[in-house]
Structure 1
Amino acid sequence: MSRYLSPTLTSLKPYTPGEQPQDRSYIKLNTNESPYPPATAVVEAIQAETGRLQLYPDPACTALRQAAARYYGIDPDEVMAGNGSDENLFFALRAFCDKTHPLAHADVTYGCYAVWCGLLHIPEDVIPLEEDFRLDPAKYYGRGETIVIANPNAPTGLALPPEEIAKIAAANPDNVVIVDEAYVDFGAESCVPLIHSYDNLLVVQTFSKSRQMAGARLGFAMGCKELIADLERVRSSLNPYNINRMTLAAGIAALESTGYFNETRQQICETRAWAAEQLARRGFELTDSRTNFLFARTDRMEGGALYQALRDKGVLVRHFSGPRTSDWLRITVGTLEQMEILMARLDEILGGP
């Protein structure tokens, strides 16, 4: 770092994204992207906007918010578009946390929560998951702090039912409860319908996973109009043109491509079930994933060593070196062909199924 960096940032530990190596061709199962391309209508919508890139996009994202409102059954002023769910989550922490308003989150969860706390100087209240990685809702009752819960959680893949989230919101009426639903479309139940019952509930979703738009960067924050107005205050103060013209058009097309959306997410869920069975047959322990990835470990090889062995054989998975996760691998669900290759490489490494 240079001598000009603010002293308040010298101890900041940036988030480490899943690696994107360029040295060879890999079976890429490490960043929870969809293995399928976007819907044809999405590609066509993007192409239609390329001749208008000299013009700024609509800063209010009006047409996209209206499309989202129709899809989710809410009002346009109850939704805000962000540059991926990350931007919406960051805006939420900026709006509802500060030095005197901590953020409560799980110890094993999405790593950006802790990074943003460091960047924004927000105190953290880290709440341990249970031994089996379950989240105990009762530990979040009456915290008196802003709360963020990834549901389903990453990297564990586990999910709470909406009624448990509702209890957490009810038990913290004077604080915002943020539900990060990046993976909700793969087997969990969304809390969006609860925003009309709890004015302190903010639900964040992304188009990166189930709608094949990780490279387009789009997500939504949904909550009562007052919460969304708070986020809009932050957004307009930092980046009022945060969604580009092509992504605005792509988002509308993606919301309208319901058949393709249902077909591809169903295929991922079926492939996940097949891959989970195959890993279990090979002696792996797995969590009950409700996401587009599997969280697995085996006594036959330490997690970091198995990650490296797979990488050497051209298969990328994600390994987290924390004390509770060092034996585990997070494996994105790819196509059936990709998962078959994964099993073959595992058999080569581990000496058979």
Structure 2
Amino acid sequence: MSRFWSQIVHELSPYVAGEQPKFGNLIKLNTNENPYGPSPLVLKAIAAETTDSLRLYPDPTALQLRATIARSYGLDESNVFVGNGSDEVLAHTFQALLKHDAPLLFPDITYSFYPTYCRLYGIDFDEIALDDIMSVRTSDYRRNCGAIILPNPNAPTGTALPLSEIEKLLIEHPDQVVVIDEAYVDFGAESAIPLVRNYPNLLVVQTLSKSRGLAGLRVGFAVGESSLIEALNRVKDSFNSYPLDRLAIVGAIAAWQDTVWFEESRNNIMATRNRLALSMRGLGFEVLPSSANFLFVHHPACSAKEIFTQLRTKAILVRHLPGERTNDYLRISIGTDSECAKLISALQTILGS
């Protein structure tokens, strides 16, 4: 606390990121990173860009990257916005599109940055409770609101809505922006991007951190009707005209274009996820159905906090999310087959004792 702080700083409850340990020899299953790393083409592209050109500013519009993403969906680059990770894209979205007289709606168990952004930007919000099986009911969103934001799949639960339910929301709220946060969509859910052509109130946000293995490069993007994208650009250019550096731009383009690596990596992760879920159910865990690169699990006979603590003593990091409805759950990122086998072995020891 300091007498020099602005008043808003006193009122903030900042987002708490997953632990990034300062030492090695850990099995790190706590921050939903890709266990396989980026495409080799990404490393080649970054190496080729590491020249005297780094003295020059990057393209402030990242036009080549935006065009690359747009072409893959049959859209125009004016339909794509890029930023320094999807967190920055979301931050600009909250400021540009989600602050209205009526409250913003989002789930009560969801990405914990949402209420943080609301408090930072002075946005009124209502949290809509997930149902008894930790799923979003779109019928619960049939109420007065200024806008809606939903992660699909949801985080930290991993459950996903079918595209038909997303379309219902768009039809029922034609005068409100509906933002679908698709950080984990590539691991088994349906993307809402094909709906952008028909619904001017839809904005879809994605990231290259998870399925493309670029968490360390920080690249995210949004797809929507051009007027929504213009709003994001107005905020961005009032904040930082150069959110993506030269290395991030060329690396992201290479990652997006290497569809063979992308398919192989995500298929491996989904197969490992399904095997891990089966093994954990065999140990007595209740495992929510997941369309993400993580599992949300609960053991009826052992506290999540105790399991988290015991795993940490065995150099295995998972995520425990304290909260009224999440305190009994662990979120476990999908690692390699070897890492997941070691996790199961450690859990057998913990539960056996």
TM-score band by shorter chain is over 0.9
User: Normalised by the size of structure 1, how large is the TM-score?
Assistant: 0.98
Q: Sequence identity, in percent?
A: 46
Deviation at 1:98, TM superposition (A): 3.0
Q: Which amino acid aligns with 1:30?
A: N
- Aligned pairs for 1:79-228 (under 5 A) are 79-98=80-99, 100-228=101-229
- 1: distance between equivalents of 2:100 and 2:163? 30
Q: Which amino acid aligns with 2:10?
A: T
Deviation at 1:131, TM superposition (A): 1.2
- 2: distance between equivalents of 1:331 and 1:289? 11
- 2: distance between equivalents of 1:297 and 1:314? 20
Deviation at 1:123, TM superposition (A): 1.0
- 1: distance between equivalents of 2:168 and 2:233? 27
The alignment partner of 1:104 has SS state of strand
Residue 29 of structure 2 is aligned to residue 18 of structure 1: no
Q: Unpaired segments of 5 or more residues in structure 2?
A: none
- 1: distance between equivalents of 2:113 and 2:146? 18
- 2: distance between equivalents of 1:70 and 1:212? 21
- The match for 2:258 is 257
Does the Cα contact within 8 Å between 1:202 and 1:222 map onto a contact in 2? yes
- 2: distance between equivalents of 1:233 and 1:101? 23
- 1: distance between equivalents of 2:85 and 2:301? 38
Deviation at 1:246, TM superposition (A): 0.3
- 2: distance between equivalents of 1:224 and 1:99? 19
Q: Unpaired segments of 5 or more residues in structure 1?
A: none
- 2: distance between equivalents of 1:249 and 1:14? 32
- 1: distance between equivalents of 2:259 and 2:280? 31
Q: Deviations over 1:299-329 (max 9, x none)?
A: 2210111111101110000001101011100
- The match for 1:46 is 46
The alignment partner of 1:196 has SS state of coil
- The match for 1:70 is 71
Does the Cα contact within 8 Å between 1:143 and 1:172 map onto a contact in 2? no
Does the Cα contact within 8 Å between 1:307 and 1:318 map onto a contact in 2? yes
Deviation at 1:23, TM superposition (A): 4.1
Aligned residues: 352
User: Normalised by the size of structure 2, how large is the TM-score?
Assistant: 0.98
Does the Cα contact within 8 Å between 2:101 and 2:146 map onto a contact in 1? no
Q: Which amino acid aligns with 1:120?
A: Y
Deviation at 1:24, TM superposition (A): 4.7
Does the Cα contact within 8 Å between 2:29 and 2:317 map onto a contact in 1? yes
Deviation at 1:20, TM superposition (A): 1.0
Q: Which amino acid aligns with 1:248?
A: I
- The match for 2:271 is 270
Does the Cα contact within 8 Å between 2:153 and 2:189 map onto a contact in 1? yes
- 2: distance between equivalents of 1:143 and 1:228? 25
- 2: distance between equivalents of 1:315 and 1:300? 20
Q: Deviations over 1:250-304 (max 9, x none)?
A: 1110111000000000000000011000001011001110000001111221011
- 2: distance between equivalents of 1:162 and 1:73? 19
- The match for 2:352 is 351
- Please say which of residues 46-55 and 265-274 is displaced more in the overlay: 46-55
- 2: distance between equivalents of 1:87 and 1:280? 37
- 1: distance between equivalents of 2:314 and 2:341? 14
- The match for 1:36 is 36
Q: Which amino acid aligns with 1:17?
A: A
Does the Cα contact within 8 Å between 2:81 and 2:223 map onto a contact in 1? yes
- 2: distance between equivalents of 1:325 and 1:331? 13
- 1: distance between equivalents of 2:264 and 2:100? 45
- The match for 2:5 is 5
Does the Cα contact within 8 Å between 2:84 and 2:243 map onto a contact in 1? yes
Does the Cα contact within 8 Å between 1:71 and 1:255 map onto a contact in 2? no
The alignment partner of 1:53 has SS state of helix
The alignment partner of 2:237 has SS state of helix
Does the Cα contact within 8 Å between 2:179 and 2:205 map onto a contact in 1? yes
Q: Deviations over 1:36-83 (max 9, x none)?
A: 111111001111111121110000111111111112221110001111
- Please say which of residues 148-157 and 72-81 is displaced more in the overlay: 72-81
Coordinate RMSD, CA, aligned? 1.1
Deviation at 1:101, TM superposition (A): 4.5
Q: Which amino acid aligns with 1:121?
A: G
The alignment partner of 1:280 has SS state of helix
